[in-house]
Each structure stands twice: as structure tokens, then as C-alpha cells.
């Protein structure tokens, strides 16, 4: 099986998993897998992620230019490209829209602090729960290129960069060296965000 086909199979499976968890309603979300130093496989625009087929995956370069001009990717593909350009270790990127990440991103300000959770171990360099992560929340912007420039500036000013962020009122992004780890990070992150949301409701 060619690399592009393997990536498409992984993306289809990820769509079914995240749809089953309720994190990609309607046509929300997008997923990608790095193919090589200059190309990635990514979901096409406008498809329900729970019903993807391998034909719903396309190949673009790191500028978001499609190899097959008959297929159209989401404008947010440029955010995937930005992650792959910035982080050479990134091999897969997931973007989802859960209730927890959407609500918290609207009320949290510039970051959400995750502290003391066992599942912090899904992030690199955090071997125990005795740690904390400030997950950035960035403003939503229909100008995706401008949003990516803001992310680059944010990352330039950070020390350790967590492999994820939230877009205000919009959703979460995570990345990892491969798709199984990206799924684990998404599941771990969403569990912790749900815990934060539940804790706030009890105050």
C-alpha cells in the first residue's frame, strides 16, 4: 500500500473514532498526516468526518496547494501546514469541536491551565500528574493566514510549547509524531477539558 493510501486509511479511521466520541459534529473538524518533508494528506472540505472514505482525503504541499486541483481542502489546512513547518516531529494533526473545548475557549481568556491530572502524561516531558500545562487559547479569525502568523508569534514567545491549542469559540488542535499518538493526545486533552468544565460548574 502506498504511503498516501496508508495515510488515507488512518484519517478515515480517526474520523470514525472522533465522530463516535461526539467531537466532530456535522462537517466540523479536519485531520492530516505528514507524507514527507513537503507534503501532507488532509481531509477534503465539507465532509462529515464520521462517514469519510479514502476518496475524501487529498494531498497538499506545505503551502496548502493541492496536487489534484479537482479537490478542495478546508481553509484551515493552512493551520495544519503551519504545525508541520514549525514542528519537524509532527506526523499527524487532529482538529475537533467538542462541547468542552468550545465552551472553555470562549470563557478562559488567553489560556486554560491543566494541572494535577493523570492524563497529562499524554503530553511530552510530563511523566507524572505532578505537573501543569497552560494550553494557549488564540482568537478566532476568518483570515487563516493571519491566524497562523499570530500562532507563530505566540510560539516564538513561549518556552516549552504544548502540542496543542484552542481557538476561541471554535475547537482544539493537537499534533503528535503519528496518528495513534495524536488520537491519544486528543482523547487525553478532551478528558481534562471536560474535567475543567465540570469543576467550574460546581463552583
CA-to-CA dists, residue 4 to 35, 102, 174, angstroms = 7, 32, 21
CA-to-CA dists, residue 45 to 85, 105, 193, angstroms = 21, 24, 27
Q: Does pLDDT of 127 surpass 80?
A: no
Q: Would you state the cell numbers that stand for residue 140, as one nine-digit string?
A: 478566532
Q: Does pLDDT of 182 surpass 70?
A: yes
| Look-up of cell digits 494550553 | 135
Ordered structural domains, the chain, with CATH: 3-202 (3.40.225.10)
On whether the CB atoms of residues 190 and 48 are closer than 8 A, the answer is no
Q: How many CA atoms lie within 13 A of 141 on its CB side?
A: 14
Q: Does pLDDT of 175 surpass 70?
A: yes
CA-to-CA dists, residue 192 to 96, 104, 118, angstroms = 15, 11, 9
Q: What's the confidence (pLDDT) of residue 197?
A: 95
Q: Does pLDDT of 203 surpass 80?
A: no
Crossing angle of helices 144-156 and 77-86, rounded to 10°: 30
Q: Would you state the cell numbers that stand for residue 157, as one nine-digit string?
A: 514567545
pLDDT-derived band at 1, boundaries 50, 70, 90: low
- Output the CA torsion sign for 178, 118, 155, 76: positive
Cα 56–82–179 angle (5° rounding)? 50
The whole-chain average pLDDT of the chain stands at: 94
CA-to-CA dists, residue 187 to 5, 94, 123, 141, 164, angstroms = 25, 11, 11, 25, 12
Q: Would you state the cell numbers that stand for residue 85, as one nine-digit string?
A: 513547518
Q: Is 129 flagged in the annotation as binding?
A: no
The greatest distance separating any two alpha carbons of the chain, rounded to the nearest whole angstrom, comes to 53
Q: How far apart are CA 42 and CA 178, in angstroms?
A: 14
Q: Is 170 flagged in the annotation as binding?
A: no
On whether the CB atoms of residues 41 and 27 are closer than 8 A, the answer is no
Average pLDDT over residues 190-201: 94
Amino acid at each position: 500500500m502506498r504511503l498516501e493510501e496508508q495515510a488515507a486509511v488512518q484519517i478515515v479511521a480517526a474520523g470514525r473514532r472522533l465522530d463516535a466520541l461526539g467531537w466532530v459534529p456535522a462537517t466540523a473538524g479536519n485531520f492530516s498526516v505528514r507524507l514527507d518533508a513537503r507534503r501532507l494528506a488532509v481531509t477534503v472540505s465539507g465532509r462529515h468526518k464520521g462517514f469519510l472514505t479514502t476518496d475524501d482525503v487529498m494531498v497538499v504541499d506545505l503551502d496548502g496547494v493541492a496536487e489534484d486541483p479537482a479537490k478542495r481542502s478546508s481553509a484551515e489546512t493552512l493551520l495544519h501546514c503551519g504545525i508541520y513547518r514549525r514542528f519537524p516531529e509532527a506526523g499527524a494533526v487532529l482538529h475537533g469541536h467538542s462541547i468542552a473545548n468550545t465552551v472553555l475557549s470562549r470563557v478562559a481568556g488567553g489560556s486554560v491551565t491543566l494541572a494535577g491530572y493523570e492524563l497529562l502524561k499524554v503530553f511530552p516531558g510530563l511523566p507524572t500528574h505532578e505537573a501543569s500545562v497552560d494550553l494557549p487559547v488564540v482568537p478566532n479569525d476568518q483570515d487563516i493566514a493571519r491566524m497562523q502568523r499570530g500562532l507563530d508569534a505566540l510560539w516564538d514567545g513561549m518556552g516549552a510549547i504544548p502540542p496543542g491549542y484552542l481557538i476561541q469559540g471554535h475547537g482544539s488542535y493537537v499534533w503528535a509524531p503519528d496518528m495513534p499518538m495524536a488520537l491519544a493526545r486528543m482523547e487525553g486533552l478532551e478528558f481534562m477539558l471536560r474535567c475543567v468544565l465540570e469543576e467550574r460548574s460546581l463552583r
